[in-house]
Homo-oligomer: A and B are copies of this chain.
């Protein structure tokens, strides 16, 4: 495998830093190639602005149109082009981050906002009355697989099907489906550690063993069975799921899993 690890934590000595290091050593030890985007160490620019698109940027700025034009002209900034190249190089992408306010930290969202440009990650393929782009199962990054490795402060029960925070699978759906599956990446079930501020040495040993196990079985892990947009499951042009396809008793995000 060629694995890109996108990692966001301000402290390399943190649990997230340790899990990232363990991923590098485990994968390299098994003969895989690994590259790491350590967003804090890179001092990653998290904020989209007109400087991202050079002197040709529109006024008023149109983030979709301007990023797509700069992508096609090859004039995106060097930091963004380097990340796009890493994504094209990789067959596997791991995102390592703490869950802050039920989603990724700002620095990682800023990596998505700036790297997942128009014409690269969205706005790809024919858009017409009968087809709305090559996305959700197709796209520039098709053929790749991704895995979120997430640490959460709260206990697992709060993230269960009836838990007050909402189910973890639904909290991660906008990342899994909205960000990763959108440009064609298949998404593996996440690796989540709960209540990490209360973690003992023994808990950590168990977690490290479980993480190594996940890493060494990535190639045989089945992805989440999200429905593909352009293969008959959705009405056009509404992109509503066709009647009768919903899993029994599911509403909301759960509709979009076969």
Contacts and interface: CB of A to CB of B under 8 A. Distances in A.
A136 to B, nearest CB: 6
Interface of A: 10-11, 13-15, 17, 40, 46-50, 59-65, 98, 100-107, 109-110, 112-113, 116, 132, 136, 153, 155, 157-158, 160-167, 170-171, 173-174, 177-179, 197, 229, 234, 237-241, 246, 249-256
A118 B197 CA distance: 13
Given A46-B47, A105-B113, A112-B101, A164 B62 contact: no
Nearest to A52: B10
A174 B171 contact: yes
Contacts of A246: 162
Nearest to A61: B11
7 contacts: A46-B46, A64-B153, A101-B109, A164-B229, A165-B239, A167-B252, A174-B174
Contacts of A62: 197
Contact of A166 (B15, B49, B178): B178
Contact of A239 (B47, B157, B179, B249): B157
Contacts of A46: 46-47, 106-107, 110
Contacts of A179: 101-102
Contacts of A239: 157-158, 163-165
A178 B101 contact: yes
A142 to B, nearest CB: 17
Most central of A15, A62, A165 by chain B CB within 10 Å: A165
A178 B107 CA distance: 19
Contacts of A47: 10, 40, 46, 105-107
Given A13-B60, A101-B112, 7 more contacts: A11-B60, A14-B61, A48-B106, A106-B110, A164-B240, A166-B173, A249-B249
A236 to B, nearest CB: 10
Nearest to A177: B166
A65 to B, nearest CB: 8
Nearest to A250: B251
Contact of A109 (B106, B161, B234, B255): B106
Task: Name the residue among A11, A40, A241 with the largest chain B CB count within 10 angstroms.
Answer: A11
Given A116-B101, A238-B160, A50 B252 contact: no
Nearest to A171: B174
A253 B169 CA distance: 11
A53 to B, nearest CB: 10
